[in-house]
Amino acid sequence: MVTVRLKPVEEIVKSLKPYRKVFVIGCQLGSGRCKNGGLREAFKVAGYLELHGFKISGVKSPGGTCILERLDSSDRSLIKEAESSSDAILSLACGAGTQLIAENVSIPVVTGVNTLFIGVERERKYFDEYCIACGECVISETGGICPVARCPKSLVNGPCGGAIAGKCEVDPSIPCIWYRIENRLRELCSLETLKKRVPLKDYRASVYPRRLVLED
Partner 1 sequence: MEFREKLESGQFLITVEVAPPRGVSWEETISALKPLKGKVDAFNVTDCQRSMVRMSALSMAKLLLDSGYEPILQLTCRDRNRIALQSDLLGAWTLGIRNLCLMTGDFTTLGDQPDAKPVFDVDSVQLIEIAEKLNSGRLLNGKELNGKTSFLIGAVHNPFAGPEFLQTLKLKKKIEAGARFVQTQPVYELKIAEEVHSLISSLGAVPLIGLLPIKSLKMANFMKRLNPTSIPPSLIDGLERAKDPVLYGWEYTLDLARAVSEFGAGVHFMLVGKVRELADFIDELRNNRREGP
Does residue 25 contact residue 81 with C-beta atoms inside 8 Å? no
Interface mask (CB under 8 A) for partner 1, residues 160-189, using x and -? xxxxxxx--xx-----x-xx-xx-------
Near partner 1 by CB under 8 A: residue from 18, 53, 199, 209:
199
Near ligand SF4 by CB under 6 A: residue from 78, 105, 148, 181:
148
Binding of ligand SF4 at residue 155 (CB under 6 A)?
yes
Angle (CA) 95-105-212 rounded to 5° is 45
- CA torsion sign for 181, 115, 25, 14 is positive
Q: What is the nearest approach in angstroms of partner 1 to the Cβ of residue 130?
A: 18
Binding of ligand SF4 at residue 64 (CB under 6 A)?
no
Q: Which of the stretches 21-29, 71-79, 120-128, 137-145 binds ligand SF4 when contact is defined by CB under 6 A? A: 137-145
Helix/strand/coil for 149: helix
Omega within 30 of 0 (cis) for the link into 209: yes
By CB under 6 A, the residues from 166 to 195 that bind ligand SF4 are 168-170, 176-178
Q: Which 8-state DSSP code applies to residue 156?
A: S
